[in-house]
Amino acid sequence: MTISFSVSRVKDVMTPDPVLVKPDETLQEAAKKMATIDCGVLPVGTKNAIQGIITDRDIVIRAIAHGKNPANEKVAKYITKTTYDCHEDDNLEEAARIMHDRKVGRLLVRNKQGDISGILSFGCILRNDASPQEIAEIIRHSAGPVSVYKKVKRNAKV
């Protein structure tokens, strides 16, 4: 399937120069950074040595939901170590294919030197001047045939 995007390159729609967090920072410090820049993900490490990513969901589900104090818990313990990336000059079709194949909604973006230069998310692509038809095609191409609902145990305590 071929998708036609009005913007063709990752660098045209990515969020540039992402704020990074160090693995020895606390979850609270990471959350404050997220709040300050209004984002839900931070790469962990340095621009040329990424150890993983930490998301707002990681903080809530992996730590707070288990009674952990974000002021005391270190980012390193809760990161998602497996990350996927693309390059600034990749076309959006290739990036969408990677997202689809890896079943992820975000990619780290690397420049020609291999350093992290941005983050590409569905939101980045959709906020661009995409038409409703382009948005539908992006979602179909990236998400593939997956269910968005998970079965919940009948007597699960919430």
pLDDT tens for 111-148 read: 999 999 999 987 776 666 566 676 666 666 555 554 44
Q: Which domains are delineated in the chain?
A: 10-143 (3.10.580.10)
Choice between 95 and 141, residue whose per-residue pLDDT is larger: 95
Decide: pTM greater than 0.85: no
Per-residue pLDDT, 75: 98
Q: What is the DSSP string of 27-41?
A: HHHHHHHHHHHT-SE
Rg of the chain over Cα atoms, rounded to whole angstroms, equals 17
